[in-house]
A and B are shown apart, each in its own frame.
Chain A
Amino acid sequence: MPELIAKTALDGQGALTLIGTTLAPVDLGIITSIAPFAGQVKAIDTALKPLGLSFPPPNTTAASGAARLVWTGPDQALLIGADAPDLGTAAATTDQSGGWSALRLSGARVADVMARLCPLDFRPSAFAPGQAARAQLGHMNAVFWAEKDALMILTFRSMAQTAWDECAHALTALAARAGA
Chain B
Amino acid sequence: MRLTCPLCGPRDRREFYYYGAEDYLHRPAPDAPIEAWDDHLHLRTNLAGVIKDLWYHEGGCASWLLVTRNTITHEVLSVERVADRKGASA
Judge whether A119 and B12 touch: CB under 8 Å. Answer: yes
Q: Which one of B30-38, B42-50, B59-67, B70-78 contacts A?
A: B59-67
> Which of A38, A133, A141 is B8 in contact with, Cβ under 8 Å?
A133
Judge whether A73 and B59 touch: CB under 8 Å. Answer: no
Indicate if A134 sits at the interface (CB-CB under 8 A). Answer: yes
Bitwise, A52-64 to B at CB < 8 A (1) or not (0) is: 0000001100000
Indicate if B15 sits at the interface (CB-CB under 8 A). Answer: yes
Indicate if B29 sits at the interface (CB-CB under 8 A). Answer: no
Q: How far is the CA of A73 from the CA of B7 in the complex (A)?
A: 9
> Which of A59, A74, A135 is B15 in contact with, Cβ under 8 Å?
A135
Indicate if A136 sits at the interface (CB-CB under 8 A). Answer: yes
Q: Which residues of A contact B59 (CB under 8 A)?
A: 134-136, 141
* A residues 116-130 touching B (CB-CB < 8 Å): 119
Bitwise, B8-24 to A at CB < 8 A (1) or not (0) is: 11011011000000000
Judge whether A74 and B83 touch: CB under 8 Å. Answer: yes
Q: How far is the CA of A134 from the CA of B57 in the complex (A)?
A: 10
Extra A-B contacts (17), CB below 8 Å, given A38-B90, A133-B60, A134-B59: A58-B7, A58-B61, A59-B7, A59-B8, A73-B61, A73-B62, A74-B61, A74-B81, A119-B11, A133-B8, A134-B8, A134-B60, A134-B61, A135-B60, A136-B59, A141-B58, A141-B59
